[in-house]
Amino acid sequence: MSHTSTPASALAQAPELARTFATSAAETDRNARLPVENFAVLHRSGLLDLVIARDQGGLGGGLGDAITAVSTIAQGEPATALILAMHYIQHGQIAVNDGYWPEHIARQLISSSLEKGALINAAYVEPFVGSASHGALPQTTARREGNQWRLSGHKKYVTGIDGLSWVRVMGVTDEPEPRIGYFLVPADAPGIRVERTWDSLGMRATASQDVIFDDVALPLENFFAGAPVAQGIGHSPLDGIWYLVLVAAVYHGIAQAARNDIVRFVCDFVPGGLGESLASLPRFQDVIGEIEVQQTTARRLLQFIGHDYDASLEKRQELLETLAADASVARLAVIRASIEVTSLALELAGNQGLSRFNDFERYHRDTLSARAHNPHGQLIRSNLGNRALGRKRATPLRNGVGQARPALTVVA
């Protein structure tokens, strides 16, 4: 399926889709159920293919368009928005054609998204290693057997696994000189088992389950961006920018939903002893004003980064370091603001805000979950501080054998 529409026409559908998705958001949260039906709707709207290049059959949208789509959908159903963001992160890199995605893999992912609405996400985090953003060597390994790889390992927090068609798995080859890289794995491949471990405070509908890969057979060509272990992981330098900004956009959208609901609540609720709405009280005016400050600042920060990224096609490489640092700042600042906004909304709503019949407590639980995304705030602040001080970004870590190696810079 190719598109004759534009990014703008697809984005124009997003507010109505968000309102539709919102009608089942509380139920999917209670049941911790991924709303897979939402992605068929997104596929029909063209939004799944928003950032696929126009000459490949997509809409040709950029990072700024992806930010708008993710933030808008998150106002209705945040789990859907997070999985959409992860899908965009992969296809946004492919569209740049920076050499990290082999052409045969890119074609396969693009055609399956266009024709079937196939979703892709990455799987990097492991139970005994943690996130690759801290530099640990994955324990997921692949041994070569004839013209195949046999992949085995255990990944945690594979967001959206119940709706994915593809998983980009970080692993190490079992060779005399091991290589670290990525394996493109069909989500329904024999040997894959999903363990239902996800029972979180917030973002409960994301289906971020554990996935076990037990001797999964893959073609040799499904391994890419491989490099000797001593060199560290090969990755797109744009990976972190898309990841940091789009994750922040999800939580900005949740906070915007809280903002919209608390404004309606304050304007509509008339206590018996007051005789007019809560909007007439200075305390409520002041707190709503603070929410406006937080949301406007966060929105403009995301928009400016998206604009600068999309406007810098010719200068992107020389601006890469600045864009990456700004994306890190956005990740911290926007999530911090989102938590503050949902907390203020919860406080203004009082006892009604704590009721499961209202959405305020869910908004707050969901934004609190943002703190769990890697890289954690301390690592981002340390890297920003070291950059400002002219120091190296990170100290080399050690693998399980005690051999020093360069720290990985992949964000997961």
Residue 306 belongs to domain with CATH number: 1.20.140.10
Q: What per-residue confidence (pLDDT) applies to 405?
A: 33
94 and 51 assigned to the same domain = yes
The answer, yes or no, to whether residue 412 has pLDDT greater than 50, is no
Residue 191 lies in a domain: yes
Determine the average pLDDT of the residues in 200-223. 97
Q: How far apart are CA 157 and CA 161, in angstroms?
A: 9
The answer, yes or no, to whether residue 408 has pLDDT greater than 70, is no
pLDDT in tens, 271-289: 988 889 999 999 999 999 9
Q: What per-residue confidence (pLDDT) applies to 18?
A: 98
**pLDDT tier at 347 (50, 70, 90 boundaries)?**
very high
Token couple for 297: 């600042």
The answer, yes or no, to whether residue 267 has pLDDT greater than 90, is yes
Residue 345 lies in a domain: yes
Beta-carbon contacts of residue 4 (< 8 Å; ≥ 6 apart): none
262 and 368 assigned to the same domain = yes
Q: How far apart are CA 256 and CA 302, in angstroms?
A: 14
Q: What per-residue confidence (pLDDT) applies to 375?
A: 79
Residue 203 lies in a domain: yes
- Tell me which of 231, 261, 295 is where a domain ends: 231
Name the domain count of the chain. 3
Q: Is the peptide bond before 375 cis (omega within 30 degrees of 0)?
A: yes
262 and 220 assigned to the same domain = no
247 and 367 assigned to the same domain = yes
Q: What per-residue confidence (pLDDT) applies to 136?
A: 73
Which stretch of 23-37, 185-199, 320-334, 379-393 has the lowest confidence by average pLDDT? 379-393
Determine the average pLDDT of the residues in 123-127. 94
Residue 315, Cβ density class (10 Å: 0-12 exposed, 13-18 middle, ≥19 buried) = exposed
Determine the average pLDDT of the residues in 203-230. 96
Q: What per-residue confidence (pLDDT) applies to 322?
A: 84
pLDDT in tens, 28-83: 999 999 999 999 999 999 999 999 999 999 999 999 999 999 999 999 999 999 99
38 and 13 assigned to the same domain = yes
The answer, yes or no, to whether residue 84 has pLDDT greater than 90, is yes
Residue 396 lies in a domain: no
Q: What per-residue confidence (pLDDT) applies to 356?
A: 85
- The CATH code of the domain that includes 96 is 1.10.540.10
244 and 227 assigned to the same domain = no
- The CATH code of the domain that includes 150 is 2.40.110.10
The answer, yes or no, to whether residue 330 has pLDDT greater than 80, is yes
Greater confidence (97 vs 205) lies with 205
365 and 259 assigned to the same domain = yes
249 and 223 assigned to the same domain = no
**Whats the size of the chain, residue-wise?**
412
Greater confidence (402 vs 156) lies with 156
**pLDDT tier at 365 (50, 70, 90 boundaries)?**
very high
Q: What per-residue confidence (pLDDT) applies to 396?
A: 35
**pLDDT tier at 234 (50, 70, 90 boundaries)?**
low
- Tell me which of 88, 118, 148 is where a domain ends: 118
Of 140, 114, 49, nearest to 87 by C-alpha is 49
Residue 379 lies in a domain: no
- Tell me which of 72, 93, 118 is where a domain ends: 118
Q: What per-residue confidence (pLDDT) applies to 395?
A: 40
Determine the average pLDDT of the residues in 217-237. 86
Residue 382 lies in a domain: no
76 and 142 assigned to the same domain = no
The answer, yes or no, to whether residue 299 has pLDDT greater than 60, is yes
Greater confidence (320 vs 150) lies with 150
Residue 388 lies in a domain: no
319 and 225 assigned to the same domain = no
Strand (E) or helix (H) holding 194? strand 192-195
**Residue 107 belongs to domain spanning:** 7-118
Q: What per-residue confidence (pLDDT) applies to 237?
A: 65
Q: DSSP of 113-163, one letter per residue?
A: HHHH---EEEE--BTTTB-GGGTPPP--EEEEETTEEEEEEEEEEETTGGG
221 and 254 assigned to the same domain = no
Residue 81 lies in a domain: yes
111 and 190 assigned to the same domain = no
